[in-house]
Amino acid sequence: MQIGIFTVGDVTTDPTTGITPTEGERIKATMAIAQKAEEVGLDVFATGEHHNPPFIPSSPTTMLGYLAAKTEKIILSTSTTLITTNDPVKIAEDYAMLQHLSDGRMDLMLGRGNTAPVYPWFGKNIAEGVPLALENYNLLRRLWREDVVNWEGKYRTPLQGFTATPRPLDDVAPFVWHGSIRTPEIAEQAAYYGDGFFANNIFWPKEHYMRLISFYRERFAHYGHGTPEQAIVGLGGQIFMRKNSQDARNEFRPYFNNAPVYGHGPTMEDFMHQTPLTVGSPQEIIDKTLTFREFFGDYQRQLFLIDHAGLPLKTVLEQLDLLGEEVLPTLRAETAKRQAPGTPDAPTHASLLAKARAEGTLPVREGQSVAVDDVTGASPDDGRDHS
């Protein structure tokens, strides 16, 4: 299983000092956190995408391109790329460029976002969020897989004889996760294409995410990609730790109480009981994370949120040291010991390239564009069940 961290990139006042970092300081801190994540042995660093205060990651590919030059092993990803308000042509080209810059150490997670005003800012209608996501992703897939695309849809101008550049590295498109908090249509989309499904797994009780993931697994099998257990699942989570549990809770409490996303609501203890938030010792982090497979099945990627709510950089780097030294070795060993035989690994560029070579998969060349439904991606002669 891949284990890593993700950031939402919030600029939040530290409630214990009253200090608010500048946007520049927060950006530089995020870069330091990502490089530290590689240093301690984590597999993935992922950033969100936001276009409103108090968030700073408005250009994920700029951040990840910088990190591609500063790191060697860690997978660089997004925890949200807005498939609804970004032009699919720009996504196709930006992330193919990132593929080349990182030598394939990247993937991306598509989502609709959770900020309603972003739609009109980019000339879109939030009421059409789901069909936008469906149509835009179908076009994105074609742009990566076909050298020359002729396309017409509802939400952007038509394309005639268009080639996105650069072409994907080794003619292999980046792996895509579809992220969702609440929308079964997105789980259906991920299942249809055999892509990964990432459940936020932060704000709501586990039962909510169990329903979404179970639905995705069933539909993944329905579309002929394998058994439900072979579906590619990722989970989020929130942690804060110190060697001693009580020290962790005492230190994190003011940050929890003032956090924009959940402060001034349930107590920290109630939130820990109702959601995956874990505040305590390294062993408590290990124990609670290991319970996730009991509810969701074996899964391929676990990302932790550790740098939010105004936590200073020094504290976040200390969290990463604890994660790498005290949690990561045991969590990896215990996960490997418990997972069912035949559980697939998370896809990487190397594994996707090997699969394409073994199957003789080639990109569609000029004059070979495939007629498909621009919303579902269905081809009339592909022999698959599209119901």
Between CA 193 and CA 34 the distance in angstroms is: 30
Section 296-317 average pLDDT = 97
Closest-CA residue to 94 (of 119, 112, 113, 76): 76
Say whether 78 sits in a helix, a strand or coil: strand
Comparing 13-22, 125-134, 143-152, which segment has the lowest mean pLDDT? 125-134
For residue 207, the one-letter residue type is: E
- The residue whose two tokens read 């700029």 is 62
How confident is the model at residue 385, as a pLDDT? 52
Q: Which residue has the higher pLDDT, 144 or 368?
A: 144
Mean pLDDT on 217-230: 97
- Return the C-alpha torsion angle 182, 184, 187, 188, nearest 10: -170
Is pLDDT of 378 > 80? no
State the Cα–Cα distance between residues 30 and 47, nearest whole angstrom: 9
**What is the pLDDT at residue 363?**
64
Residues 6+ apart with CB under 8 A from 174: 95, 96, 98, 99, 106, 107, 108, 144, 168, 349
Within 13 Å and on the Cβ side, how many CA atoms surround 89?
A: 13
Higher pLDDT, 371 or 135: 135
- Tokens 């590295």: give the residue: 169
pLDDT at 308 over 50: yes
- How is domain 2-359 classified at the CATH fold level? TIM Barrel (3.20.20)
DSSP 283-304: HHHHHHHHTHHHHH-S-SEEEE
How far is it, in rounded angstroms, from Cα 287 to Cα 28?
A: 33
Give the CA distances from residue 272 to residues 15, 174, 180, 253, 376, in Å, rounded to whole numbers and listed in that order: 20, 35, 21, 12, 39
Residues 6+ apart with CB under 8 A from 265: 271
Residue 189: CB atoms within 10 Å: 27
Asked whether residue 267 carries a pLDDT value surpassing 50, the answer given is: yes
More confident residue, 163 or 123: 163
* 3-state SS, residue 241: strand
**234-247: per-residue pLDDT in tens?**
999 999 999 999 99
**pLDDT number for residue 381:** 46
pTM over cut 0.85: yes
pLDDT band at 16 (very low <50, low <70, confident <90, very high): very high
Q: pLDDT, tens digit, for every residue of 88-126? A: 999 999 999 999 999 999 999 998 876 778 878 878 888
Return the top range by mean pLDDT from 53-62, 118-127, 297-306.
297-306
Quickly tell me which residue has 């259906």 as its tokens.
Answer: 188
Nearest-CA neighbor of 283 among 249, 335, 322, 312? 322
Q: Nearest CA to 186 among 152, 136, 224?
A: 136
Of the listed ranges 93-107, 140-154, 248-262, 322-336, the least confidently predicted one is 248-262
**Domain ranges across the chain:** 2-359
The whole-number pLDDT of residue 65 equals 98
Nearest to 261 by CA among 366, 337, 179, 181: 181
Q: How far is CA 266 from the centre of its chain?
A: 27
272, 333 in Cβ contact below 8 A?
Answer: no
- The angle at the Cα of 286, spanning 284 to 289, to the nearest 5 degrees, equals 105
Does the CA dihedral 227-43-13-273 come out positive or negative? positive
pLDDT of residue 360: 86
Over 80: is that where the pLDDT of 84 sits?
yes
Q: Which residue has better confidence, 264 or 81? A: 81
pLDDT of residue 362: 61
Computed over every residue of the chain, the mean pLDDT equals 91
Q: How confident is the model at residue 30 (pLDDT cuts 50, 70, 90)?
A: very high
Q: What's the CA gap between 296 and 158, in Å, rounded?
A: 41
State pLDDT tens for residues 321-376: 999 999 999 999 999 999 999 999 999 999 999 999 998 876 665 555 444 554 44
